[in-house]
Structure 1
Amino acid sequence: MGNKYVCMYMNHHGKPPEGNLTAWKEFILLGFADVPQLQWFLFGLFFAIYMIILLGNGTILVVTKVEPALQTPMYFFLGNFSFLEICYVSATLPRILVNLGTQRRTISLVACATQMCFILVLGAAECFFLAVMAYDRYVAICNPLQYPLVMNHKVCIQLVAASWINGIPFLVGQTYQIFSLPYCASNVINHFFCDISPILKLACGETFTIELMVYVAALLFVSAPFLLILISYIKIISTVLKLPSATSRAKAFSTCSSHLTVVVLFFGSGIITYLRPEASHSAETDKVLSLFYTVVTPMFNPMIYSLRNKDVIMALRRLLGK
């Protein structure tokens, strides 16, 4: 079955059908078809990962909502972030599992566009959430006396709402632009979900303007939040190093280390994927990198935040005790 799709992929990379610039109404997600002997192993692996992500992030979501000791801005953001992770990974993993389990790799043009739109909007929301969480730590460490005033409940809700909806108009419009192109050279996507780069490779029309807009989107929704995080941490580190007590310094760094680990994992793979030159793109590299920001980071988030956070561990023990 896998070899059939590999052959189709090779055969379809030819010239577009003459006089028919909208030949394809559905795509084939090649995914992991090049390793047919590993299909069921990969199904089991991704199913286990999906359950871990749902259970881990779901637990953090519940514990930050019901535990009185965790009713602070930091855990309010963490709870929302965990819910976002569940939504984000649900845009890709269920489709991967269906493709691996049934070996039916077709996806309609509308479904493909919908998947891409959700991935882009939720990915942008994750970037902004990480920036908001960095700002929260900045205010808590650099302006502790002003913290309750600056990060009041109304401000927290506004920051969360802005993170969720900020990228919607631009990224929905961008998705519409991408899928308004004629797709005729091939309908085989050499990826396991509908990502921008492998989709644009199949377009027959002029793609320069859209590729330029993709870079603009990456600068706005990836680079800008990353820059805000960088500025926040420069100020945080500068403030922490001035603290007289070694214990205070260790505690301050401890509260930031979990967030910083997630930032490096998520932004590192995302920036390399979307901002490196097109000439250096390869399908296999893109697949590996996208696994990091769509699957690996959401899986490790609960572990990173709970194992290094005494408050979360204590809250989980109390919850399990009840």
Structure 2
Amino acid sequence: MDNLTIFTEFLLMDVTSSRELQVLQGVLFLVIYLGALTENLVTVTVIMTDTFLHSPMYFFISNMALLDLGSISVVAPRAIVNSMTANKTISLTECAAQIFLYTLFAAVEIALLVVMSYDRYVAICHPLHYGLIITLSLCSQAAAGSWASGLVYSAIHTGCMFRLPFTKTNVIQQYFCDMPQILRMSSPDVQFSEFVVIVLSVCIVLVCFKVMFVSYVNIFSTVLKMHSIEARNKAISTCTPQLAILLLFLISGVVPVFSPSANKPSLKNLLTAMFYTMVPPFINPIIYSLRNREINAALRRMFNRYSWFPVKGFLK
């Protein structure tokens, strides 16, 4: 025990030792990050500034955009700096902060997806009572509750993971503090407590997905009974983006769970991590506005208001 080494910083490993490829990796991260940053900031700005979008659905979409901004900002800036410089170390405190914030944003996103499924359920299945049920007060409480529950869960999760010192190794075979990698380096006591937390988390997530499943089953059951094709298409168009985001979130959550923890850096390991840390924040804003006429119309109004050249056919 006298020779036991307690690590206070970690070493983030690169896929390649080639300096040119490391810089290229940093440039790729930078392009994705700037793209996600621009898309999500534009989404939040257009929803906040356009009064036609001041409704519960777009209030929750703006919250989702803020979550995407936060989640990619936790990982990308540090990964860009590490790829561009020779410094590959990250302190224990910064590593814990990365895991805390990333877990927080993921937990809040699950909660908001549940809330959004209920919002669409009321809007489509009980349209006459929508204004009475989904009030501004309820939306604020739902958003605050989502953030509060995410904070509590993330604090418990991070506290369990970092409650004991790391003595096995300080090498992380990834470009950020990946949870499976941290667990691999943890003591058996921490691994057991994390196993208990993860089991409880899975139970909570299953309940959330059950609520969403029931909501969307009722939604599509109601949609199929609609006689008006226009009303049916409008109802489907408001649900498909949320279903696409839910599917992307589910896939990005399953990928790290079933991917084995790598003992050495590899291209597959890098691409897997990029898929669940950087792709969703980049893709989600595109899903929001791809077939959303209201957001596209609001974007046209915003561009026409602040640009010299009117935008007519650019956004449809």
| Fold shared, TM-score > 0.5 on shorter chain | yes
Aligned to 2:165: 182
Cα offsets for 1:113-144 (capped at 9, x unmatched): 11111111111011111221111111111111
* Aligned residues of 1:91 and 1:118 also touching (Cα < 8 A): yes
Pair 1:249–1:132, CA change in 2 (3 A) = same
Q: Contact 2:104/2:153 (CA < 8 Å) preserved in 1?
A: no
Aligned residue identity for 1:158: Q
Once the two structures are superposed, the pairs formed by residues 164-313 of structure 1 within 5 Å of their partners are: 164-206=147-189, 207-220=191-204, 222-274=205-257, 276=258, 281-283=260-262, 287-313=270-296
Q: Scaled by the length of structure 2, what TM-score is found?
A: 0.89
What is the CA–CA distance in structure 1 between the aligned matches of 2:175 and 2:279, rounded to whole Å? 15
Alignment RMSD, CA only?
1.9
Measure the CA separation in 1 of the matches of 2:107 and 2:92. 22
Indicate whether 1:63 and 2:46 are aligned: yes
Label 1:286 to 1:238 Cα distance change in 2 as closer, same or farther (>3 A).
farther
Q: How does 1:19-168 map to 2 (within 5 A)?
A: 19-33=2-16, 37-168=20-151
SS at match of 2:25: helix
Distance, in Å, in 1 between the alignment partners of 2:8 and 2:42 is: 40
Shift of 1:105: 1.1
Cα 1:273–1:75, aligned 2, differ >3 Å: closer, same or farther? same
SS, match of residue 27 in structure 1: strand
Structure 2: which 5+ runs fail to align? 306-316
Residue matched to 2:311: none
What per-residue deviation string (whole Å, max 9, x for no partner) do you get for residues 250-284 of structure 1?
A: 2211111111111111112203433x4xxx62436
What do the CA deviations read for 1:189-220 (whole angstroms, capped 9, x no partner)? 11222122110111234322322212322432
Give the whole-Å Cα distance in 2 for the aligned partners of 1:33 and 1:165.
40
Contact 1:85 1:298 in 2 (8 A): yes
Task: Report if the CA contact (8 A) 1:64-1:79 is conserved.
Answer: yes
CA–CA distance in 2 between the matches of 1:226 and 1:38? 40
Q: 3-state DSSP class of the match of 2:185? A: coil
CA contact (8 A) 2:180 2:261 kept: no
For residue 293 of structure 1, report the CA deviation from its aligned partner. 3.0
Secondary structure, aligned partner of 2:127: coil
Q: Give, in angstroms, the shift of residue 60 of structure 1.
A: 0.7
Change (3 A) 1:244 1:217: same
Distance 1:204 1:20 in 2: 17
| Runs of 4+ more than 6 Å apart | none
C-alpha distance in 2 between matches for 1:180 and 1:231: 38
Secondary structure at 2:128 match in 1: coil
Tell me, in whole angstroms, the C-alpha distance in 2 between the residues paired with 1:135 and 1:313.
24
Contact 2:14–2:22, Cα closer than 8 Å, also in 1: no
Distance 2:14 2:129 in 1: 50
Unaligned 5+ runs, structure 1: 1-17
Q: Whole-Å Cα distance in 1 between the matches of residues 14 and 183 of structure 2?
A: 17
Alpha-carbon contact 1:21-1:204 (below 8 Å) kept: no
- Taking structure 1 as reference, are residues 259 and 170 closer, same or farther at Cα in structure 2, changes over 3 Å only? closer
- Contact 1:21–1:183 (Cα < 8 Å) also in 2: no
Give the whole-Å Cα distance in 1 for the aligned partners of 2:254 and 2:108.
Answer: 15
Letter in 2 for 1:106: T
**Contact 1:265–1:292 under 8 Å retained in 2:** no
Distance 1:104 1:52, change over 3 A: same
Matched positions, count: 300
Matching of residue 316 in structure 1 with residue 295 in structure 2: no
Structure 1 pair 202/138, CA: closer, same or farther in 2 (3 Å)? same
Whole-angstrom distance in 2 between the partners of 1:200 and 1:157: 36
Determine the C-alpha separation between the residues in 2 that align with 1:271 and 1:147.
Answer: 34
Q: Is the 8 A contact 2:72 2:277 kept in 1?
A: yes
